[in-house]
Structure 1
């Protein structure tokens, strides 16, 4: 077996050289240190590993159907922040693959990614899909049970946070893309319902959903619930001009980073095992935190959230052996289970760390 080990090391070294994560000097390969490596280089390395390990013609292996669209959003964000169009073909194919979507929140992930992809290539079919699917959902699955809210599933068994947060964010994104006032009105209507639903605590954290009596069901504060809420609230400030919404997003972000982290400050889900869906949760949080940081004014809150993001990104990078191994689902445990979704979660926190060195825009 020694020959196989040597070949493996040679293959990894070759990959490292191609990805630009080693520097040649004095006739030997010298790994880049943290102070030498821009976050964009690290993000490129992680994205390349994703493609090498899990890339498929119309998506990625080792991921759930809804996660395909979060990966699309991550790679669109990667291109926006770095200018690297290497994954445009993969994005274009994956965003048009709607296979396997069963629940209403699944459909909304696809709606959101379709809007984001349309922003890049203006294919009218993408915006038509997004608007048609949105219209079908609100006309079919929003009703007066619990005084409003969108059902999570076609069987109408559960009204929960993530589905309605996604509807809020889809509304703001569709309004920003089209300028149609109906989407803005729906965004405000959905936020009014969410804010009065009892799912959000005084500290700004949102739990999983409502019970049969239409009250907070006491389920855990999953990180992706906090992330999508942050995204919707940040957009509400953009479309209304009212900074109060962004202030609420900052409150949720600060509480989540303080209370949903390990003692060492590394983001972790509030339950020990969350299955393959949970591999993407922290990435969703990181994605929306990055956009909040882009929009926040300078100040101590921005400094705290940016420093937290950079500490988490550094932990992810170190746990991945500088990009040479998969990023695990638990950022504080290098041996944790990994897949395409956990790899993209790590990519998103790396993008946050490099994107917001100063408020007001991307800085990788």
Structure 2
């Protein structure tokens, strides 16, 4: 099959190592990850992984059949500006044809892309392959998941999913962890972009009336500081912790309230506060303030009643300051593990790891279904808050696992990661809500959670 003549692209040409509309005969390889069929025609997406370009072909057809590429910069959600790239027709006397090669990504604008091949028999219906991408920035399980997550990074708002707030803090944390673990720094730019764009949003310094939101951001900036050494991130984490401290009151004997407009005391807010204050102490030479706050937090939390008889943590306390019996969400079981690990580093108290291990032993067993972690009441959606919970859980479990010399939770993390990879992943390395497989959509909440899982399983 010879190369077709150049055709006008539907959008401005993208130039990376090479510019759009390159001859496929120049590709050093041909990998075909996805195909589609229509009216006996075979539509194939081809990749030149070495140069991060792709092309489409249609075969077993006839003259007038058309073939083209679509390119999306948001994981296949939209592609209006990258529609019908290389659109061309099978010439007279032919049975098949191919487009020229087009770039998957737009590195000049930090666009993380995907391609699909589409074809249309003469006068017939259109069929397209699934979306896929090259192995560029996706050579391993975790880096592929990180790249897929970055497809949800909004280049305008600098938040994931367009306007996700505390969930963006978790997504950024997962990306930072992946940089540290994998050594792939391609998305390091997102740290400063998120910070610079949103530093003055809401209450400023990533604070607002929801104190758990503030805690998530504070921990994200601890991670950013650890990776970059940039002091402004540590200063913001400190401002976040101080904001949380200002919302500590005597309702139920202590603790940080969930919302500055009420007095509800819940687990996640106080677990985040314990980890954040401990982390600040471990990074500020000569500190006593944050250490004392961490000690006060743990003394209150362990006696609050939120830890139930099964060594699981319910959502919070009712108006009578008694465990409210609400679901044992996975993130409540995981953040405390990372918090106790960080608090142990601050104090050297081995009893903290004993407690953490007791909690982890319970949750890794009681929150599994058929050997795989499952959120209580887990649904098929990847939007909203819940899809981020399992990621926060495995992040904390991974931190504890690294601290313990026998790494007791490595088998579970590996088993869950293998299950998700084998049963919950599409051709674009997008993951759904069920790590054991099943129905479900894909979006950045689920993607962040599985990136946390793959990070924890490989670290």
Alignment of 1:65 onto 2:169 = no
Check the 8 A contact 1:266/1:331 in 2, yes or no. yes
Q: Tell me the equivalent position of 1:292.
A: 400
Q: Tell me the equivalent position of 2:225.
A: 118
Distance in 1, matches of 2:262 and 2:411, equals 42
Alignment of 1:266 onto 2:364 = no
Q: Tell me the equivalent position of 2:389.
A: 281
Distance in 1, matches of 2:449 and 2:117, equals 26
Of 257, 262, 265, which aligns to 1:156?
262
CA apart distance, 1:176? 1.2
Check the 8 A contact 1:280/1:342 in 2, yes or no. yes
Number of residues of Structure 1 aligned to a counterpart in Structure 2: 330
Deviates more, 1:237-246 or 1:323-332: 323-332
> 1:333 and 1:183, CA in 2 relative to 1: closer, same or farther beyond 3 A?
same
Of 235, 250, 257, which aligns to 2:364?
257
> 1:199 and 1:17, CA in 2 relative to 1: closer, same or farther beyond 3 A?
closer
Q: C-alpha deviations, 1:132-168, integer Å up to 9, x for none?
A: 23223212x1111101011100111411000111110
Q: Tell me the equivalent position of 1:331.
A: 435
CA apart distance, 1:5? 5.7
Distance in 1, matches of 2:354 and 2:388, equals 26
> 1:186 and 1:318, CA in 2 relative to 1: closer, same or farther beyond 3 A?
same
* TM value normalised by structure 2: 0.67
The structure with higher relative contact order (CA 8 Å, sep 6+) is 1
Distance in 2, matches of 1:278 and 1:63, equals 16
> 1:107 and 1:13, CA in 2 relative to 1: closer, same or farther beyond 3 A?
closer
Distance in 2, matches of 1:62 and 1:131, equals 26
Q: Secondary structure at the match of 2:295?
A: helix
Unaligned runs of 5+ in 1: 22-40, 356-364
Alignment of 1:106 onto 2:203 = no
Q: Tell me the equivalent position of 1:18.
A: 136
Alignment of 1:177 onto 2:295 = no
Q: C-alpha deviations, 1:80-138, integer Å up to 9, x for none?
A: 11221111101222245254654111111111111221222333332222222322321
CA apart distance, 1:42? 0.5
Deviates more, 1:8-17 or 1:192-201: 8-17
Unaligned runs of 5+ in 2: 1-36, 45-55, 57-115, 119-128, 203-207
Distance in 2, matches of 1:131 and 1:18, equals 37
What does residue range 192-341 of structure 1 map to in structure 2 within 5 Å?
192-262=299-369, 264-273=370-379, 276-298=384-406, 302-303=407-408, 305-321=409-425, 324-341=428-445
> 1:102 and 1:217, CA in 2 relative to 1: closer, same or farther beyond 3 A?
same
> 1:220 and 1:192, CA in 2 relative to 1: closer, same or farther beyond 3 A?
same
Higher-helix-fraction structure: 1
Of 68, 83, 99, which aligns to 2:183?
83
Asked which structure has the greater CA Rg, the reply is: 2
Check the 8 A contact 1:16/1:324 in 2, yes or no. no
State the superposition RMSD in angstroms.
2.4
> 1:20 and 1:136, CA in 2 relative to 1: closer, same or farther beyond 3 A?
closer
* TM value normalised by structure 1: 0.84
> 1:258 and 1:63, CA in 2 relative to 1: closer, same or farther beyond 3 A?
farther
Higher-strand-fraction structure: 2
Distance in 2, matches of 1:229 and 1:67, equals 18
Q: Tell me the equivalent position of 2:7.
A: none
